Copies of this chain bind each other. A is one copy, B any other.
Amino acid sequence: MAMAFSALLKRTSAIKSVIGGLQASRAFASVAVDSDLVSAASDVSLQRARSWDEGVSSKFATTPLSDIFKGKKVVIFGLPGAYTGVCSTQHVPSYKRNIDSFKRKGIDSVICVSVNDPYTINGWAEKLQAKEAIEFYGDFDGSFHKKLDLMIDLSAALLGPRSHRWSAYVDDGKIKALNIEKAPSEFQVSSGDVILNQI
User: Residues of A at under 8 Å CB distance from B?
Assistant: 1, 4-5, 7-8, 47, 51-53, 55-57, 59-60, 62, 81-85, 88, 116-120, 122-124, 127, 138, 140-141, 155-160
Which of B4, B8, B84, B160 makes the CB contact (< 8 A) with A140?
B160
For residue A56, which residues in chain B have a CB less than 8 angstroms away from its CB? 1, 4-5, 85
For residue A84, which residues in chain B have a CB less than 8 angstroms away from its CB? 52, 119
Given contacts A83-B119, A117-B159, 4 further A-B contacts (CB under 8 A): A4-B59, A60-B156, A82-B120, A123-B123
Q: Which 9 A-B pairs have the closest CB atoms?
A: A83-B119, A52-B85, A83-B123, A52-B84, A4-B56, A47-B158, A1-B56, A83-B120, A117-B159
Is the CB–CB distance between A160 and B117 below 8 Å?
Answer: yes
